[in-house]
Amino acid sequence: MRIELDRPRCEGHGLCEEAAPALMHLDDDGELVIDSPDVDGEQDIAAAKAAVRVCPVAALKLVAA
Amino acid sequence: MNPIESDVDIWDDDITVDPYPTYTALRDLGGVVHLPKNDLYAVTRYDLIRDVLADPASFSSTTLGFNPMVNEALQGTSLASDPPVHTQLRATLSANLTPRALRGLKVTIDEKADKLVAELVATGSFEAIDSLARAFPLDIVADLIGFSGHVKDNMLRWGQAAMQVIGPLNHRTQESFPIAGELYGWCSSVTAEDLAPGSIGRGIFDAEARGDIPQGSAGHIIHQYLGAGVDTTIASIGNIVALFGRHPEQLKLVRENPELVPAAFAEVLRYWTPLHIWGRTAVRDVELGGVTVPAGAQLGILLGAGNRDPRHYDNPDVFDVTRNPVDHLSFGYGPHGCAGQGLARLEGHAIVEALARRVKSLTLGDGYRVPSNITRSFEQLQVLEVEAA
Ligand code: HEM
Ligand code: SF4
């Protein structure tokens, strides 16, 4: 699976980082960086799904790679 | 299939004051319940509410208010527009409200909250709505937009009225229109010189002057900050005090575990939702939760009913600061998801933190809410005794 970010829509609320700190983080400028866009393995996929779910503006998607 | 009907009047005085038993009854009836008395389709369950809010192509925001006059007045705002127009309006609107834009404000907001709470605690007893729930956000928003004087004095009335008029054409809406009109009037006539240099409000006018945002949009943006950002935040801060007063063991948990501050604020927002009903219109016949919502139907999205949906939250009627319901619906969701949530969180976290630092326990006296169309908040809440930490 692959994490896709709608960059213009992302406002840096950072809730996704809290849900999936191993996969993404806000950099020093408050811009979201997806460290591991390609995810496989149960744990990472679960974390990616949680991140997609909590983004308050629906800026993240998990799509088939 | 047609949705089930209920003869509930969702704007009945008693229901707006205490909607939760009605929410439970409606949610049990169905995910979508037709309310002929209000000419509405109420959306009651968590998943369906998220689906509606995520789908602006089926559910339009252009008539999100519950009467035609307010929908007319909101034309041109991000709140009342659909993509693709919304996407652009939202970008200008949120540019000053993102967590990165607000980063510099955190220290000031934390300091102000701590000072105010310390003063109130020192008095030993206080009325929490005027002196805290209203005073704090009004002060923050005045600084942010850069106004003072008579505008600041009017902002509470204006902010309350701006929410009230989103309701149906009942007496509350009618009484509030002239007051909301004062806010519209001020926002359409305010100029850069009226706002303090260095404020975000002034910055929005500078952006307009530079041509970064369309001519005439600065007033709309300021209108939305004030209309959407005052009454809601006031409600949530009053609720913090009331819930900590009623649940001393929850305050104790936050005192002992300060890392719970964000979770505690999210739980306050989930447990008592500041905006109890919000609108959308079906642009065509849409299948929703197994029933058909007809084209043109007005939806009444019951955010507070979704926030207590047992299909989504375990023991939803329990106030639990360890729950951390990051996906609560109180800020809406998706493209229109609250643009000011970064600021609302800064304010809410600052107050929770200050209370947890300075207060051991609160003894509450009388508190009451008054019937209201959209915002559910305390009108008065007496703190009889504060035990300082
Ligand atoms: C606890 C406090 C708050 C709550 C509960 C709240 C709630 C909401 C909700 C439910 C929406 C979604 C509207 C929709 O889907 O149509 C919204 C939108 C919005 N909020 Fe908030 N809000 C809060 C604080 C603020 C603050 C402090 C500001 C600004 C200073 C603000 C500005 C806005 C704006 C501009 C929108 C419209 C966004 C759009 O249409 O794209 N809000 N808010
Ligand atoms: S939660 Fe959404 S808006 Fe916030 S940083 Fe992550 S992707 Fe961006």
Res. A8: pLDDT tops 90: no
Res. B120: pLDDT tops 90: yes
Q: Is residue A56 less than 8 Å (CB to CB) from chain B?
A: yes
Res. B220: pLDDT tops 90: no
Q: pLDDT digits over B166-219, tens only?
A: 999 999 999 999 999 999 999 989 999 999 998 989 988 988 898 888 888 888
Across the range B86-113, mean pLDDT stands at 89
CB within 8 Å: B342 and A13: yes
Across the range A12-33, mean pLDDT stands at 93
Contact B333/A58 with Cβ under 8 angstroms? Answer: yes
Res. B152: pLDDT tops 90: no
User: What confidence tier does A45 reach under pLDDT thresholds 50, 70, 90?
Assistant: very high
DSSP class of residue A36 equals -
- The CATH code that applies to domain A2-63 is 3.30.70.20
Burial of A28 (0-12, 13-18, 19+ CB in 10 A): exposed
User: What confidence tier does B112 reach under pLDDT thresholds 50, 70, 90?
Assistant: very high
Confidence at residue B150, expressed as pLDDT on a 0 to 100 scale: 87
Across the range A41-49, mean pLDDT stands at 95
- pTM of the entire structure? 0.96
What ipTM is given for this predicted complex?
A: 0.91
User: What confidence tier does B96 reach under pLDDT thresholds 50, 70, 90?
Assistant: confident
For ligand 1, the distance from its centroid to the CA atom of residue B332, given in whole angstroms, is 8
CB within 8 Å: B99 and A19: no
Confidence at residue B213, expressed as pLDDT on a 0 to 100 scale: 81
Lowest mean pLDDT among B98-112, B124-138, B338-352: B98-112
> How many whole angstroms separate alpha carbon B46 and alpha carbon B310?
9
Across the range B325-349, mean pLDDT stands at 96
| Of residues A11, A54, A58, nearest to B98 (C-beta) | A11
Q: Is A39 in the pocket of ligand 2 (CB under 6 A)?
A: no
The correct CATH number of B4-388 out of 3.40.50.1860, 3.10.580.10, 1.10.630.10, 2.60.40.420 is 1.10.630.10
The tokens describing B298, both together, are: 């007005």
Across the range A27-38, mean pLDDT stands at 92
CA distances from B41 to B76, B216, B374 (A): 26, 35, 16
| Sequence ranges of the domains in chain A | 2-63
State chain B's mean pLDDT as an integer: 95
| Of residues B99, B100, B337, nearest to A57 (C-beta) | B337
Q: Is A19 in the pocket of ligand 2 (CB under 6 A)?
A: no
The tokens describing B4, both together, are: 């089930």
Confidence at residue B244, expressed as pLDDT on a 0 to 100 scale: 98
Confidence at residue B104, expressed as pLDDT on a 0 to 100 scale: 86
Q: pLDDT digits over B19-66, tens only?
A: 999 999 999 999 999 999 999 999 999 999 999 999 999 999 999 999
> How many whole angstroms separate alpha carbon A60 and alpha carbon A16?
9
Res. A30: pLDDT tops 90: no
Which residues of chain A are within 8 Å of residue B334 when distances are taken between CB atoms?
A: 57-58
Res. A17: pLDDT tops 90: yes
